[in-house]
Amino acid sequence: MKVIICGAGQVGWQIARHLSGENNDVTVVDNNPTLVRRATDTLDVQGISGFASYPDVLDRAGARDADMIIAATHSDEVNMVTCQVAHSVFAIGRKIARLRSQSYLDAIYADLYRRDHLPIDVVISPEKEVAEAALQRLAAPSTFDTESFLDGAAQLLGIAIDEDCPVINTPLRQLTDLFSTLRAIVVGVRRQGALFVPSAGDQLFPGDECYIFSDTHDVSRTLEIFGKKQEKQERIVIIGGGNVGLDVAQKLEARTERVRVKVIEMDREIAETAADALDRTIVLHGDGLETGLLEEAQIGSADAVLAVTDDDKTNLLASVRAKELGCQMAITLINDPTLIPLMGPLDIDAYINPRATTVSSILRHIRHGRVRQVYSIGDAEAEVIEAHVLGTSPIAGKAVKDVAFPEGTKIGAILKGSEIIKPDGNTRIDEGDVITIFVLAEDVPEIERLLQVSIDFF
């Protein structure tokens, strides 16, 4: 597949890294020559310096025979015009645009993106994706990462293993025997910075970070078995009242169960906009780092603080101060992946990486075919892929143990009809099943071959 990626920032670079690693023909376009050089020096891609919306630049990038264009520059308008030029001049079949402005995303204007108007096939909104990720973190407060699969019937849980975890030093096969009715599987473990797929004889140790696939109905029991408590989040303080903070507050207000939310915003105009848009939420104008303002927001009795300003250091420091003042849990928005190792020493419970959520969202549409969802793990170290099993697939009609899955993969759950199955070696995979697979990055191409997505799309 020939793909043009417009924008060589973190999101564009990560997408290029995924696609070039899967032997696609990738060209990166950016008006910053330094970013283009970084992409061409570190990845197996071609690079073009210039403005992505210019027809001659797209022509040099190979738009005449491209299969897909992904417009992920920092400008909404450049992304929109790029898709229009790609359609009108070069007839590129699939166009994906990242749009930030909420005005462009309002549902009442969705008709704007019809093919005879502004031809964008898929609109990705980083702020919407991040707000949804924040809500998922709040729903599972004792996890450092979480994502829903199989239409909400299954959950991926990232759990840090502590000294008091009841199942440390226990082979995973024994967990299956001890909790035979538990519909949960450990699919990945990160130990001393290295991520791997565990075997039945592996054990968990304090300091490990494990990824567990669980039936939604068994999430509370799974957390309990791994030494975590499932507590309700009834009092929440949001630091940052911009698009992300406002979206989270509005969704919390819309819930049937009562949640008390307070928003702290430093910019007076943004604070007034948030106050006008919210009904029951208290909006405080001021610096989220000020102890006095945090105490006014009653941070000491809050169940969680959500720091989602556009400054990483402010988010980190505000989270640390909130925990110091007695807040039970801190969730922090982090753009710079090099700051993530600070989470543990600073006692920050969970983080949200906007680039990772955006990359996951774009990958979901790139894989296309029978793939329904893709979730990127860590720094593009692994993916969780959810896909329909095709009748022509090599895995259809076979038991799990008879399929030559790569070592870096593990099936998390299988949906048969309306029933979620916890798979073992004897579980049969049938045409029409929906399968979720945890797969290390180097094994993604082989999994796609087994799922035969390439036949369906490429």
Residue 122 is predicted with a pLDDT of: 87
The sign of the dihedral angle between the CA atoms of 156, 161, 167, 169 is positive
Residue with tokens 């992920």: 72
pLDDT of residue 107: 65
Do residues 431 and 204 touch, judged by C-beta distance below 8 A? Answer: no
Q: What is the pLDDT of residue 204?
A: 92
Q: Angle at which helices 243-253 and 126-139 pack, to 10 degrees?
A: 50
pLDDT of residue 108: 67
Q: Which two tokens stand for residue 455?
A: 């036949």
What pLDDT, on a 0 to 100 scale, did the predictor assign at position 102? 74
The pLDDT assigned to 456 comes to 42
CA atoms within 13 A on the CB side of 369: 24
Q: What pLDDT is stored for residue 413 in this prediction?
A: 93
In b/e form, how buried is each residue of 93-108, taking b as 16+ CB within 10 angstroms?
ebbbbbbbeeebbeee
Rg (CA), the chain: 23
Amino acid letter, 34: T
H-state helical runs in 21-146: 33-42, 55-60, 76-88, 102-105, 126-139
Q: What was the pLDDT predicted at 155?
A: 92
pTM for this model (two decimals): 0.74
**Per-residue confidence (pLDDT) for residue 458, from 0 to 100:** 38
* Two tokens, residue 73: 């520059």
What string of DSSP letters covers 378-423? Answer: TTTTEEEEEEEPPTTSTTTTEEGGGS---TTEEEEEEEETTEEE--
The closest alpha carbon to 329, from 228, 450, 446, belongs to 228
| Residue that is written with structure tokens 């309002």 in the block | 106
Question: Side chain identity at 388, as an amino acid letter?
Answer: H
pLDDT of 415 reads 93
Alpha carbons 139 and 238: distance in angstroms, whole number: 15
pLDDT of residue 453: 45
Closest CA to 185 of 425, 423, 416: 423
pLDDT digits (tens, 9 = 90+) for 66-113: 999 999 999 999 999 999 999 999 999 999 998 888 778 776 676 777
Vertex 338, ends 249 and 20: CA angle to 5°? 95
- The domains found in the chain, sorted by start residue, are 2-124 (3.40.50.720), 235-352 (3.40.50.720), 359-457 (3.30.70.1450)
- Say what the pLDDT of residue 414 is: 94
- Residue 368 is predicted with a pLDDT of 47
Q: CB of 393 within 8 A of CB of 450?
A: yes
Q: How many CA atoms lie within 13 A of 69 on its CB side?
A: 32
Name residues of the chain where pLDDT drops below 70: 107-108, 110, 367-369, 452-458
* H-run or E-run covering 5: strand 2-6
Paired with 213 in beta bridges are 156, 185
How do residues 321-358 score in pLDDT, each as one tens digit? 999 999 989 999 998 878 888 888 898 988 888 877 87
Q: Which CA distances in Å does 106 have to 118, 125, 239, 358, 395? A: 15, 11, 24, 19, 42
